[in-house]
Structure 1
Amino acid sequence: MNWHEHWAAALKAWGRFTKVHDPLYCQSTLDAREAGLTGSFAMFRLDDRTVVLDMQSVAELGLADMPVEVMAHEIGHHVLCPADLADNARLLARVRRGIPGLEGFAPLVANLYADMLINDRLQRSRGLRMSTIYERIATAHPTPLWTFYMRTFEVLWSLKSGTLTRTEITEDIEGDAQLCARLARVYATDWMRGAGGFAALCFRYLTGADEGALADTRKRVCVGVVGDDAHIPGLTATDDEAVIHPALDPQVNEFAPQEAPADDKPHPPGEGQFREPFEYGQILRQLGVKISDETAAARYYRERAAPHLVRFPVRTKPLSTEPLPEGHTAWDIGEALEAVDWIATATRSPVVVPGITTVQPVLGTTEGQERDKRPVDLDLYVDSSGSMPDPRRNVSYLTLAGAILALSALRVGARVQVTLWAGAKQFLTTDGFVRDENAIMHVLTGYFGGGTAFPIHMLRRTYIDQQRTGPTHIVVISDDGVDTMVRMNDEFGRPGSEIATRALASAGAGGTLVLNLWPGAEEKIRAITPGWDVHRVSEWQDLVDFAAAFSRRHYERSNA
């Protein structure tokens, strides 16, 4: 059967104006695997919106004569659920909350949920034979999860028990299937809200489940993948809406309490608004994005920093580059040809003899009327000692504040040097002052977790061993361990206090110590770090507000 002839009918099942790329028909399972389809017979690629079909597996499952049903189902992932990458990520995150401790099964549960919604729509509203598909792909030894799932379809479509199920239906399975069928109808047009409840129903069937047996279940659902480098915005924010078991959901169960249990109520504003970096990375990987912990952390903090980015301060200076003609001088062979003043040369002699009659202009400079804006470079030092969180696992407000400062500086053309530091000889730094955002985020998202010893040698190398060519502001983010900057000596025995004082003077645009201190402790720090601005925060979260207001406060004052 030529499936492509039925593609228009599959599209029409979702409306006259539905447009999706033509399917990719893979004649063998090997070809399908090369196209990214593994472990199933069909998928919808969310990154390029393409249906991929393993025609060999389709034939083996006995579905060769059901092209409209199979392809219409895949189109449903584009039209109904999850529709796009962002909603797919939110769906997966909501499912993870419904199966605590079993988050590894979230992709399977999310796929089962999406398939249920799509198939119910196609069976009831479009008259397609979705139940026949499940009859043909039935297995003689289904898992409890698959039995529960099939019993749900029997309830949804008023089918006789045993039409799709192949084992005994226990009271628990029957009760869960009834709730699940009700949930599918209640949340058919608001499917995101019902995802957590569906996951909660699946929880008991996943507990202690055999991975090998569930692999057979995975073969009977379609899958969706995304590109290796897909960017999914909005994933750092968590979903505060409560995940309620359908038995306790008054919209699903009329006998349930009208109010959700206190523990399930949404968090008040300001609490739990963002997920942790490790969970962010896990969700990306479960979506199919091949990404390292370091890259995931960099994307996480970029997204968290974006709303707080501000224009980094600049300084103005007189321009001295307007040319002032001062006469001519001889031009000789070996000098730049474009430097020759041909009019003056021809005026001097009609016969042009290189090196004899050729001349070039002599230009001086005069101070311009306009003023040039010079971005203030940023030299950032972030504490990564054992008292600080690992930014790749948990939210580090030091890293977030550093990202806000550094990315703001890059916005207006400033150059940034970032140094991550902990104990002695534990430091990671960019290759000097750079404009490479990836290199900066690589340093900021690193972690040592060692002792506390400020890298005083970095101040010496940057400001004493060489001359800085432009104004630079030094920012140190730490706690009371910053006293090692002046209390310790460098590797040559030079006092840190002397190096810090000279570095501050050489930087030319001031320095700020942003420290998490108890009340009153900042006076002690000010006493041992004369000339530095000391900004105390009582909680690490306050670093975000500091970083966002940094350029407006500190630099406006320093320019004045």
Structure 2
Amino acid sequence: MDFVKVWESKWEEALKLWSDYVKLTPAKFLFTESEEKEEGLTASFAAIRLKDHRVLLSVNQIKHYQLEEYALEILGHEIGHHVYCPGDLADQAKLVYITNLAMPRYNHLTPMIVNIYEDLFINDHLKKQNHLRMDEVYKKLGKQNDPFWNFYMRTYEILWALPSGTLTEGTLCDQIQSDAALVSRMIRNYPNDWVKAMFDFASICFPYFFEEKNQSHSKHFQTLLDTLDAGKGMTPPSGITEVEISSELFPLEGVTGSKKSLTPSEYSSICQSMGIEADISEVTYRYYKDKALPYLVPFPELTTPGAKEEILEGNDLWDPGSPLEKINWLESTIKSPVIIPGYTTVEDVYGETSSNEIKVNPIDLDLFVDCSGSMPNPQTDLSYLTLAGVIIALSALKTGSAVRVTLWSGIKEFLTTDGFIKNEKEILKVLTGYFGGGTCFPLELLEDEYKEPPKRKRHILVISDDGIDTMFTQNFPRDPRAIVKNALEQAEGGGSMVLQLYQPNQNPVVNELQQSGWDIYPIQNWTDLLKFSKEFVERNYVRNQILQ
């Protein structure tokens, strides 16, 4: 019988190696090089994609290494990456980050180091718990007269009580013996907490790549690398803006023993190492959203008594910026069997009648964030003013508010959302952009937006520094003070300014703004913005959920 059919018949048995409840799509066999290239299986004879949890197998490479008789060993190993280690993209990202810290200047080796580290846990589990022939698979791959390969194979020899030379080649130096013994203890001590030992494992691997001649040795591992580009086709992971770094062997002050906050550039590097194909705006958006979530204010459902009762009046075209749940799919399908969002999709339109029902009435947010040269670039370094803006914007959206965000820098240099919207992704993508130029507040946006009173109350919030004085001092064709005063009056929801001022009481423009009705919040550093953002939301949004 052809070995492919045998392997297909072993699939359910391989799943049960890990649990009776594991369900995965059967492995996909690739018969030609073109199929392997199309699926992204170019080095190893087997791999698993975390995107769809599909195991890929190269028929030609399995035959080349004479592995036809090891169906359970290889299938069980690939399933182990899904079920056991790393299990998900977030844990994979943590391992990548920790390895990058432990191996400075050799981050190009990170995917390989992480992959073989994960393999140690999976293979040891299958050998000890399921009594599979994992050592025989490595025998088929052949020995290599290479220090790093011998160190790795010696670790397996110690784990499985194999005589020295079973998997290794030649006489091993004391350093290899010692390193392998340490790693074998790590694998046994942290079978359910592999993140904890990653820093030490990578630190032990680091010296093997010091010499230039050893830089090519990673090619021996290509046949084993089955989690390269594990994140290909996936979005940047959540839950990794802070990573706990532990070390028993190489404690470094400021690095190990506590949680370390990632910068946006570090987060972006992790995504690249995992093969995640996302532009910088997508990566930055995910980073700041994840960073902001713990600071969002849990709003109570304060209500307005005597609110009008809504009565269905008909349908209208659905706005792509509105929530998906507003779409009336039945009416949309009746209108057109071909669904085109924003063109054939409709949402229900309601009128009002008197009732005793209650309703929440939040105000909208008009947010202006300074991103001139004096501000940090949120795409490379953690920008607290961007983080504060994200916290406030997400908290406002949580109440049902619409938000307009404007990034501004020099003359005519600004980026703004398409009006007041509720599309979280579009709002955060604008917020996390950057100019880094001169400083000139965009008065034209205030002038154009507040020619007439808006339908709902709005709060105008400006985050800046001493550059806020350009609101009045720039060469604008019309009276800046009249424009600012009119906007504040028309908005009806108040105005606030969070300003990092070098001399808070000696800026005449700031004093004038405060006297004209703006709430001024001077701060000493950008970390103060986090405290402000929480207080601001509670003061302006919780309070304003009850409107007359």
2:486 corresponding residue in structure 1: 502
Q: Say yes or no: does 1:175 pair with 2:184.
A: no
1:446 is the counterpart of 2:436: no
The equivalent of 1:37 in structure 2 is 41
1:436 & 1:504 partners in 2: Cα distance?
25
Classify 1:541/1:275 alpha carbon distance in 2 versus 1 (closer, same or farther; 3 Å): same
Q: In structure 1, what is the equivalent of residue 241 of structure 2?
A: 236
- CA deviations over 1:402-423 (Å, ceiling 9, x no partner): 1122222223332221110112
| SS of residue in 1 equivalent to 2:57 | strand
Residue equivalent to 1:425: 412
Cα distance between partner residues in 1 of 2:422 and 2:167? 61
Q: Secondary structure of the equivalent of 1:83?
A: coil
Given that 1:243 and 1:264 are in contact with CA atoms closer than 8 Å, whether structure 2 keeps it comes out as no
- Distance change (3 Å), C-alpha of 1:204 and 1:366: closer
Partner of 1:162: 165
Distance 1:557 1:83, change over 3 A: closer
Structure 1 SS opposite 2:85: coil
Partner of 1:383: 370
Paired position in structure 1 for 2:524: 538
Partner secondary structure for residue 385 of structure 1: coil
Indicate the structure (1 or 2) with the bigger Cα radius of gyration.
Answer: 1
**What is the CA distance between 1:300 and its match in structure 2?**
1.0
Q: Counterparts of 1:302-381 in structure 2 under 5 Å? A: 302-310=289-297, 311=299, 373-381=360-368
Aligned to 1:515: 499
Q: Using the TM superposition, give the Cα deviation of residue 184 of structure 1 relative to its aligned residue in structure 2, in angstroms.
A: 2.1
Is 1:312–1:551's contact at 8 Å kept on the other side of the alignment?
no
**Residue 512 (structure 1) shift:** 0.4
1:187 is the counterpart of 2:193? no
Q: Distance in 2 between matches of 1:155 and 1:415?
A: 62
Moved more, 393-402 or 172-181: 172-181
The whole-number CA distance in structure 2 between the counterparts of 1:22 and 1:366 is 57
Equivalent in the alignment of 2:283: 296
Gaps of 5+ in 2: 312-351
- Asked if the contact 1:42–1:223 (Cα under 8 Å) also holds between the matched residues in 2, the reply is no
Shift of 1:129: 1.6
Q: Determine helix, strand or coil for the equivalent of 1:432.
A: coil
Q: Which moved more, 1:507-516 or 1:147-156?
A: 147-156
* Contact map agreement 2:32 2:60 (CA 8 A) in 1: yes
Query: One-letter code of the match for 1:510?
Result: G
CA deviation after TM superposition for structure 1 residue 372, in Å: 5.8
Partners of 2:488 and 2:187 in 1: CA distance: 65
Separation (CA, whole Å) in 1 of partners of 2:426 and 2:14: 48
Q: Which runs of 5+ in 1 are unaligned?
A: 249-259, 324-364
Where 2:242 maps in the other structure, the secondary structure is coil
- Distance in 1, Cα, partners of 2:508 & 2:486: 20
Partner of 1:547 in structure 2? 533
Q: Partners in 2 of 1:183 and 1:286 — Cα distance? A: 24
Instruction: Compute the displacement of 1:391 (Å).
Output: 0.7
1-structure distance, mates of 2:7, 2:403: 57
For 1:200, the equivalent position in structure 2 comes to 203
Residue 484 (str. 1) matches residue 487 (str. 2): no
Which deviates more from structure 2 when the two are superposed, residues 108-117 or residues 17-26? 17-26
Q: What do the CA deviations read for 1:505-537 (whole angstroms, capped 9, x no partner)?
A: 122211100112357438755422121110122
Task: Assess if the C-alpha contact under 8 Å between 1:69 and 1:128 holds in 2.
Answer: yes
* 1:526–1:532 Cα contact (<8 Å) kept: no
Aligned partners of 2:189, 2:310: CA distance in 1, in Å? 73
Partners of 1:314 and 1:521 in 2: how far apart?
A: 38
Q: Does residue 1:72 correspond to 2:76, yes or no?
A: yes
Asked whether the 8 Å contact 2:264–2:379 carries over to 1, the reply is yes
Q: Partners in 1 of 2:224 and 2:287 — Cα distance?
A: 34
Asked if structure 2 preserves the Cα contact closer than 8 Å seen for 1:487 and 1:497, the reply is no
- Distance apart, 1:68 and its partner CA: 1.6
Matched, 1:134 2:134: no
- 2:209–2:215 CA contact under 8 A, matched in 1: no
For residues 556 and 185 of structure 1, what CA distance do their matches in structure 2 show?
52
Supply the distance in 2 between the matched residues of 1:161 and 1:321 (Cα, whole angstroms). 81
- How far has the Cα of 1:18 moved from its partner? 4.6
Corresponding residue for residue 52 of structure 2: 48
1:288 positional shift: 2.8
Give the superposition deviation at 1:189.
3.9
Task: Please state how far the C-alpha of 1:61 moved relative to its aligned partner.
Answer: 1.7
After TM superposition, give the deviation of residue 32 of structure 1 in Å. 3.0
Q: Cα deviations across residues 233-254 of structure 1 (Å, max 9, x unaligned)?
A: 3121222x33343xx6xxxxxx
- 1:91-133 deviation per Cα after TM superposition (whole angstroms, max 9, x unaligned): 2233223223322322211110111122122223332221111
Partners in 1 of 2:416 and 2:482 — Cα distance? 22
Question: Residue 98 of structure 1 contacts residue 243 of structure 1 at CA under 8 Å; is this kept in 2?
Answer: no
Report the AA paired with residue 535 of structure 2. A
Match of 2:321 in 1: none
Residues of 2 paired with 1:495 and 1:11: CA distance? 73
Q: What is the rounded CA distance, in whole Å, between the counterparts of 1:414 and 1:193 in structure 2? A: 42
- Return the TM-score normalized by structure 1: 0.80
Secondary structure, counterpart of 1:375 in structure 2: coil
Identify the residue that residue 355 of structure 1 maps to in structure 2: none
| Identical-residue share of aligned pairs (%) | 38
Aligned-pair distance for 1:369? 6.5
Instruction: Give 1:424 shift.
Output: 1.9
- Partners of 1:404 and 1:145 in 2: CA distance: 47
Structure-1 residue corresponding to 2:269: 282
Cα distance in 2 between the residues matched to 1:16 and 1:179? 34
2: distance between equivalents of 1:155 and 1:319? Answer: 74
1:468 pairs with 2:454: yes
Aligned pair count reads: 497
Task: Decide whether the 8 Å contact of 2:305 with 2:357 is kept in 1.
Answer: no
Q: Which amino acid aligns with 1:544?
A: L
Q: Is the 8 A contact 1:378 1:415 kept in 2?
A: yes
Q: Give the secondary-structure state (helix, strand or coil) at the position aligned to 1:473.
A: strand
What is the CA–CA distance in structure 2 between the aligned matches of 1:376 and 1:544, rounded to whole Å? Answer: 21
Contact 2:238–2:286 (8 Å) recurs in 1: no
Provide the C-alpha distance between the structure 1 equivalents of 2:308 and 2:55, rounded to a whole number of angstroms. Answer: 62
- Report the CA distance shift for 1:17/1:402 in structure 2 as closer, same or farther (over 3 A): closer
Amino acid at match of 1:533: D
Q: What does the per-residue CA deviation read over 1:447-487, in whole Å, with 9 as the maximum and x for residues that have no partner?
A: 111122111221112123x5533321110001111111122
